[in-house]
Amino acid sequence: MGEFLDRSRVIAVVIFIVTVAAIVVISSVGVSTIDVPIQPNQVATSRLTALASFTFESAERTRAAREQFLGRVPPVYRLDIEPLRRFEAAARTLLRQLEAFEASAPPGGGPALLTRRTELSSIAETFNSHGPYHATAEDIAALLGVGDAAARTVLFENGLATLREIYAQGVTDSVLGSISPGNAVVFQIARGDGEVTQRAAQTMEEAWTLLRVSLASDQVSRSAAQAVFRIFRYGVTPNVVFDRAATQARQNAAVQAIKPVIVSVSRGQTIAEPGDRISPEQHEMLVAHRNYLRQHGDTEVQEGLKLFRRVLLVLAMVIASLLYIRIEDAETLRSNVRCGLLALVVIVNLALVRTIYSLGGAEFFVRDGSWASTLPYVAPTAFAPLIVAILIDAGSGIFMALLISIFTGVIYGNRLDLLVLTFLASLVAIYFGRDARRRGRLVRAAAAGGLTVAAFAALIGVVDQTPTDTLLRQMSAGLGTGLFTGILVVGLLPVLESLFKRTTDITLLELTDYNHPLLRHMQLEAPGTYHHSLVVAQLSENAANAIGANPLVARVAALFHDVGKTGNAQFFGENLRERDSPHDDRDPQESARIIKQHVNDGVELAQKHNLPRAVIDVIQQHHGTTVVRFFYHRALEQMRNSAPPLRRPESDGSPPAGALPDESVFRYDGPKPQFKESAIISLADGVEAATRSMREAGPEQLQELIDRIVDERITEGELDEAPVTLEEITKVKNSFQFTLLNMLHSRVAYPPALPPAKPAPLPAQKA
């Protein structure tokens, strides 16, 4: 199913149509083609006059009038009663605690109550825990001196009633406005029914005065009244709260009451003078002027013709891209996955350029023209070319750079200087990043492109006498965009590799680390297979270099091609280590099944460890549909020995056709090698295994062995589906011979070490 989708012509046509449509929309929609597009804060190069009389509704002037009126709409507040409820609940709890305290007092009361200070402090702490209250043990003791529980209840109810009046009136502090003594501040207070009334709120000092007066009574001592006031004063808090929703509703109602401002423009009236920096009102007038001309003149036809020309331009560029790819890399054109990758990065890159262009209308860039001039240098035009150069090839990346640069110049008002500058910067980035095998080099390559932009921005700025601060901003924007592009490419490469089944040299080089879990496992469980893989990797890498294939793909795939043997390492000859073979007592068909199983096991391990698609394909294809010859011949021999004697034996001594073992049982499931690197590894695997049985490895013997194995594979059709020519196969054989001769060369035999010389006997001493 995946192969069908990758080769489907219907999907290819859909990709083509979507690409053309997306580029047309990105490069055309919103960009006026009646005249050179002028953005707010840009400098007019000529006098702009009205070609006809017209009127329009000015959003800028209407907005200014509404903002001016909004400053006169007073804010709306509401009264927050929740602090009063909390205090009232805490006060009633305090009354109950005091009543319980008196009930638990010993007979006689009076002074004995005052000696239980710890309990009084506990009651005060309990009261304070309900809110921002500050009652003390002395205050609680003073409350006990008021009288009995009924007297305290009357005093508390009087204080609570006063608090209700205070909260209903509203309490504020000096934060909300300037308050002079004796004057009240009037607020717009929202009621529960949605109505808003004006009301004078009390200050905190006024509320405390009212509370102190209400608590004063002839029946209560001065000290007790002060204690009650000290407790109740913390129940008074500012409760005039700003009501955002009500304020917004009143402002909206006020705005709706203001009628839009209608501006009349006469024919011949000057909209902007040369050298004027276009203000938002002038830009609005220009847009209204162009809209009027579109609606009342023949500009609709002209606009349609120019849009049609834009579609033709896009078609021409896309068709040119297809022709280039067809000439340089036909395989990419046949793969919908690769075409989809190209289309995606082009569309995303142009969308980024267009997004940067659209930022010119933001308020920040409208206010400061020097920052607005940096926007063309912020566009990351090297993003798509660098990705294509890494994932496909440098040639496709160069053509992609040209396409992106052309449409960038179109979007920014047909600027030829911007087209040339961005194309040069992309080429510099591709040049330094074309053979990148480290992620840091990609960042440096993109930074080199940004440095190119900064350098040429400086040169152009000097020629145009651009102010120094603006020039520095443009240079910084170019260099910073280069660094950001490199970081963005490095971050997105793993995602794009996974989505589009592409593998970069960076990922492949990381897989050559011998500490990879699968390679470490192979070293420990199947050391013979590991050594075999190393030799095959060297053979394959050199052969790939000889015919122009990817040597890194060949090396990495060869390192992992036999990883499936680690599950049953003892069943493979290179891992036996001079011990008896476990196949001796097994049926040849069972042995062949075990040997063939290493392909499926290898694919499963590779998928589990997220190895690249190319490596998994090599694991599947490196044996193609060849026969496990050793066990097939063993089965054939067993069948010959067990077959009854025939009356008329065949003249060549072989058993009749019906007596042959089922060859399909001994044949690998395939598929055959589908690409050059897979074909090379398939041949290298067979050649390396055969050289292990050679007693003499001279040039003639090696050449004869390599020719025999390669010819067998060609005769059996194992290379029919691989894109290799006979000339390339010859180069591969020569490379194999050269590599093996250097690996298997003999050394000069060293003579055995001489025994240590015996010391000469000492002469006898005379007596």
Query: Strands, E, within 305-461: which ranges?
Result: none
My answer on whether 375 and 397 are in the same domain is yes
Which CATH number fits the domain that encloses residue 718?
1.10.3210
Specify the pairing of strand 171-172 against strand 196-203: parallel
Q: What share of the chain is helix, strand, coil (3-state, %, to 5)?
A: 65, 5, 30
Residue 1 identity (one-letter amino acid):
M
Smallest CA-to-CA distance from 209 within 236, 247, 190, 184 is with: 236
Query: Do 516 and 628 sit in the same domain of this protein?
Result: yes
Q: Does 181 lie in the same domain as 112?
A: yes
Could you tell me if 678 and 600 lie in one domain? Answer: yes
Query: For the CA atoms of the chain, what is the radius of gyration?
Result: 46
Whether 259 is covered by a domain: the verdict is no
Residue 470 lies in a domain: yes
pTM of the model: 0.55
Residue 753 placed within a domain: no
Q: Decide which of 502, 530, 549 is a domain's last residue.
A: 502
Question: Which residues lie across from 199 on neighbouring strands?
Answer: 187
Is 482 found in the same domain as 523?
Answer: no
Could you give the residue ranges of the DSSP H alpha helices within 561-694? 588-608, 613-621, 629-642, 676-691
Structure tokens at 86: 């909390």
Residue 57's beta-bridge partner residues? Answer: 262
Looking at the structure, tell me whether residues 214 and 326 fall in a common domain. Answer: no
Residue 220 C-alpha from the chain's centroid: 75
In this structure, are 536 and 495 located in the same domain?
no
* Of 187, 222, 248, the domain-final residue: 248
The answer to whether the CB of 131 falls within 8 A of the CB of 90 is yes
Check residue 347 and give left, alpha or beta (phi > 0: left; psi -120 to 50: alpha).
alpha
pLDDT for the residue 546:
93
Torsion over CA: 20, 352, 469, 280 (sign): positive
pLDDT of residue 42: 61
- 186 strand-pairing partners: 200
Residue 600, domain member (yes or no): yes
Based on the fold, state whether residues 229 and 351 are members of the same structural domain. Answer: no
Structural domain range at position 632: 507-641+659-743
Verify that 625 and 724 share a domain, yes or no.
Answer: yes
> 196 with 164, same domain?
yes
CA 566 → CA 135, 514, 519, 570, 682, distances in Å?
80, 16, 10, 9, 19
Query: What averages of pLDDT result for each successive group of 10 residues across the chain (767 residues)?
Result: 63 82 72 49 64 84 77 77 87 85 65 66 85 83 79 84 84 57 58 66 83 75 79 84 78 76 84 73 82 64 59 80 75 76 88 84 67 83 90 84 87 79 92 81 91 89 78 90 92 83 78 88 90 93 92 92 89 75 81 90 91 90 89 82 53 53 83 93 91 77 90 92 92 92 64 58 48
- pLDDT, position 179: 41
80 with 203, same domain? yes
- CB distance 522 to 566 below 8 Å: yes
- Select from 428, 415, 404, 417 the least CA-distant residue to 352: 404
Cα separation, 522 vs 530, whole angstroms: 6
Q: Which of 502, 528, 555 is the last residue of a domain?
A: 502
User: Hey, what are 354's tokens?
Assistant: 């267009």
Peptide bond into 752 cis (omega under 30): no
Number of domains in the chain: 3
Point out which residues pair with 240 in neighbouring strands: 79
Residue 174 confidence (pLDDT): 57
* pLDDT for the residue numbered 41: 62
Q: Look at residue 646 and tell me if it is in a domain.
A: no
Amino acid identity of 132? P
Q: Determine whether 249 is exposed, middle or buried from the number of CB atoms within 10 Å of its CB (0-12, 13-18, 19+).
A: middle
- What is the rounded CA–CA span in Å between residue 44 and residue 49? 12
282, part of any domain: no
In a domain? residue 284: no
Question: Which contiguous run of DSSP H or E holds residue 492?
Answer: helix 468-500
Question: How far, in Å, CA of 339 to CA of 30, rounded?
Answer: 28
581: number of Cβ within 10 Å: 13
Any domain includes 121: yes
Write out the DSSP string of 569-589: GGGSGGG-TTS--TTTTS-HH
473 with 514, same domain?
Answer: no
Placement of tokens 């009650």 in the chain = 228
Long-range contacts of 128-135 (CB under 8 A, 24+ apart): 130/86, 130/87, 130/89, 130/90, 130/93, 131/83, 131/86, 131/87, 131/90, 131/234, 132/234, 132/237, 133/87, 133/90, 133/231, 133/234, 133/235, 134/230, 134/234, 135/94, 135/230, 135/231
pLDDT of residue 487: 92
